[in-house]
Amino acid sequence: MQRRRYSSLQQGFFADARGRFAHKLSRYGERRRTYLSTEESLALDKARGWGIDVLLLDLLRAGELPPPRRPIEQGRAALEDYRSRNSEASLDWDELVSEGWIRQVWGEWHTAGKLGMRKPGDEEADEGHFRRFFHWLTHQFPRRASRLALPNLEPLLCQHRFRYPGAPDEAGLLSQQILSRTEDSVLVLNTRSPLFEHLAPWLYARLWDGLVAGPLDPDQRLTWWARYLDLGSGWYTCRARSGTSLLWSRSR
């Protein structure tokens, strides 16, 4: 069988995809496992009695993933918008991709390295608006939190509580910080809680091999599953019990 040969550019894309995926997975390896305090361990032991691991897995399967952060189509549209505002800009999306400045990985676009992080000075040479465009583009797509919305919690929770009578209701799950609400009152799974992070390696493994949710095609399933590994990353505001908002961030 003849071995397929790839160009250096394709090899670079594959290496980038592997690197990003390895980074996602590394957060849930045994060496990076979130260890619990004595109080949290006691809370987990109690929660296992009402099937917290089963409930969290069901919530992952039933929840709604957010849209991609940087869809390729929106990146293309952003470039056309920039060119319409700046007649001197001589940039083409496909050329930027073919030259490796933009990489299309997991259905999203990414810039190479730290391109676009620094705004070029007015006196700096910038032929074709190259550096100015990438600085502008990066700030058109700010990093936002990836959260799993739970629009149909009630029937799922009723079914779970029938199976596990001791399981808390929605208010109880909120008080235990297993669930949370965004500043616009959307109910979401709190993937930053110590209990979730401790159980995450098992949960994501079962999510992959369960074949209960998600596409069955291996390539499509891998892209779908990889998006779950981003849950909880980014910036977001959450509503504290006092009604004030707190800003959370995590470098994931």
Residue 219 lies in a domain: yes
Q: What pLDDT score does 3 carry?
A: 44
CA atoms within 13 Å, Cβ hemisphere of 233? 15
In a domain, 6, yes or no: no
Residues found in the chain: 252
Residue at a domain's end among 89, 113, 140: 140
Q: Do residues 136 and 158 both lie within one domain?
A: no
Domain span at residue 50 reads: 16-64+148-250
Q: What confidence score (pLDDT) does residue 218 get?
A: 85
Taking the model in full, what pTM does it have? 0.69
**Is the same domain home to 106 and 176?**
no
Calpha distance 15→186 (Å, rounded): 37
Q: Is residue 7 domain-resident?
A: no
Q: Is 194 part of any domain?
A: yes
**Among 60, 35, 28, CA closest to 189:** 60
Q: Are residues 153 and 181 in the same domain?
A: yes
The three-state DSSP-derived secondary structure of 48-78 is: HHCCHHHHHHHHHHHCECCCCCCEHHHHHHH
Q: Which of 140, 158, 173 is the last residue of a domain?
A: 140
Q: How far is the C-alpha of 206 from the C-alpha of 197, rounded, in Å?
A: 15
What pLDDT, on the 0 to 100 scale, is given for residue 165?
94
Q: In angstroms, rounded to a whole number, what is the distance separating the alpha carbons of residues 160 and 53?
A: 11
Q: In the prediction, which pLDDT does 220 show?
A: 83
* Cα radius of gyration (the chain): 22
**C-alpha pair distances (Å), 163 with each of 51, 139, 160, 176:** 9, 48, 5, 20
The per-residue pLDDT for 22 is 64
Residues 182, 233 within the same domain: yes
Residue 1 lies in a domain: no
Is the domain of 174 the same as that of 246? Answer: yes
| Domain stops at, among 109, 140, 171 | 140
Residues 160 and 47 in one domain: yes
Looking at residue 246, its pLDDT comes to: 35
Pair (92, 156) in one structural domain:
no
Mark whether 165 and 240 lie in a shared domain. Answer: yes
Q: Measured between alpha carbons, how far is 68 from 146 in angstroms, rounded to an integer?
A: 9
- Same domain, yes or no: 179 and 55: yes
On whether residue 39 sits in a domain, the answer given is yes
93 and 210 belong to one structural domain: no
Give the count of domains, the chain. Answer: 2
DSSP string, 168-224: --HHHHHHTTSEEEBTT--EEE-TTSHHHHHHHHHHHHHHHHS-SSS-SSHHHHHHH
Q: Are residues 124 and 152 both part of a single domain?
A: no
Question: Is residue 177 located within the same domain as residue 232?
Answer: yes
Judge whether 172 lies within some domain.
yes
Tokens 């929660």 found at: 47
Task: Look at residue 3 and tell me if it is in a domain.
Answer: no
The span from the CA of 6 to the CA of 67, in Å, is 31
Per-residue model confidence as pLDDT tens for the chain (252 residues): 344 444 554 555 556 556 655 656 665 555 445 678 889 899 999 999 999 999 999 999 999 988 888 889 999 999 999 999 988 888 999 999 888 888 887 778 888 666 666 666 655 556 667 888 888 888 888 766 678 999 989 999 999 999 999 999 999 999 999 999 988 889 999 998 889 988 988 999 999 988 888 888 888 888 888 888 878 654 333 333 333 333 333 333
Residue 136 tokens, joined: 């502008």
